[in-house]
Structure 1
Amino acid sequence: LARKAMSVLLSWGDRGRQRHALTELDEHLLRDIGLTRYQARIEALKPFWCR
């Protein structure tokens, strides 16, 4: 149970960092990954616990 909880917490932290990183990408990089600035912003606004 403790391992599962730790895994979930680590996943949440990773997800939060990745979403924040989306807000720092320039237009060229966003285009490369197939996202618009609007889509990146919407994704970044999601709570860390949501997939």
Structure 2
Amino acid sequence: MVSLVGARRFAKRALGEVLGMIERHRQRRSLAALDDHLLRDVGLSRTDARREADKAFWQE
């Protein structure tokens, strides 16, 4: 039988993973929207940004 503490721990961890995936997706969309000048400021090329933005949301 699963303890209530174990179930809560699992739910908290699962929620954290889902929220992390959502945040990665949001950040990748924002990165893809940057213009070339801003990408150069952060040291990325358009190709680098596109490669990162094309990753699936579950990929780190």
TM-score (norm 2): 0.82
The aligned length equals 51
Percent identity of the aligned residues? 49
Larger radius of gyration: 2
Q: Which ranges of 4 or more aligned residues in structure 1 deviate by more than 6 Å?
A: none
Structure 1 gap ranges (5+): none
Distance 1:33 1:50 in 2: 22
Higher RCO structure (Cα 8 Å, ≥6 apart): 1
TM-score (norm 1): 0.95
Structure 2 gap ranges (5+): 1-9
Residue 30 of structure 2 corresponds to residue 21 of structure 1 = yes
